[in-house]
Amino acid sequence: MHGAYRKSQTLIPRNRRSVMNFKSKKIIVIGGASGFGRAVASKAAKLGAQVMITSREQDKLTEAQRDFTSAGFHVAGCVVDAADISSITAFFDGIDHFDHLVSMAGGFMGGGFLSADYETIRRAIDEKLFANLHLARHAAPKIAQGGSLVFTAGAGGRPDNASGAIVGNDAIRLMVEGLAVELAPRARVNAVAPTWTETPLWKNMPASDVQATKERFSNTIPLKRTAEIEEVAQVYIFLMQCGFITGQTITVDGGLTLVT
């Protein structure tokens, strides 16, 4: 049995074994200066990738790059506002090609279709769907053979209390399904849909409110806790590495959708 196992190992095609290898791969993380994006960039850098991160804020970008340098990794950076099509255009004009792109573009909102004002709902949808659609249209011609796009949707909200965000998240799922067919077989397209996770996104919220939200989700989620940033980041890495998944949105919610 031991000999048979060793023999089967030698029969794995070389190209299959290289699927998990990030060495020298060029990976762009839109919104990679903090939160999930920064964790994805860190994991990719540790796996040997050539990483570029973007941020809307120069100070945040500089701080993130300095921290990566201190950790022994060179990570390139660029100021990009994913909500501004001219900023996206200028960014991709300077990109020759890349292997994988991860987008954290999109915000959050509270309020239903009647309780939230019209502009808030529209902005939430724009920041989710149209910002990422612009990214996809500019990125598509520059993806290397076998590369991928990974977007960010979301899970855990309801139409009556997060109307625009819910529409945007569902739109991301639909966009991913369409792009996956349009870009196949050259490249793959997927998305990650995390539920509420304690990240720097909530830094302006009072600490007591963050803790209350965390406890509320923990009491509902079957695993009785919220996710760690690193756990969510690992799913983005998996979707970049696995060459036979496309058109999928992976929900990362500890089983929340099973009980709500």
- Check if the beta carbon of residue 182 is closer than 8 Å to that of residue 141: no
pLDDT in tens, 182-206: 999 999 999 999 999 988 878 778 8
pLDDT in tens, 123-147: 999 999 999 999 999 999 999 999 9
pLDDT in tens, 197-245: 988 878 778 888 889 989 999 999 999 999 999 999 999 999 999 999 9
All structural domains of the chain, each given as residue ranges with its CATH number in brackets, are: 20-198+228-254 (3.40.50.720)
Determine how many CB atoms are found less than 10 A away from the CB of residue 171.
17
pLDDT band at 12 (very low <50, low <70, confident <90, very high): very low
pLDDT in tens, 145-177: 999 999 999 998 889 989 999 999 999 999 999
- Does an H or E element contain 131, and which? helix 131-139
Confidence (pLDDT) at 157 = 83
- Check if the beta carbon of residue 254 is closer than 8 Å to that of residue 214: no
Examine the pLDDT at 1 and tell me if it is beyond 50: no
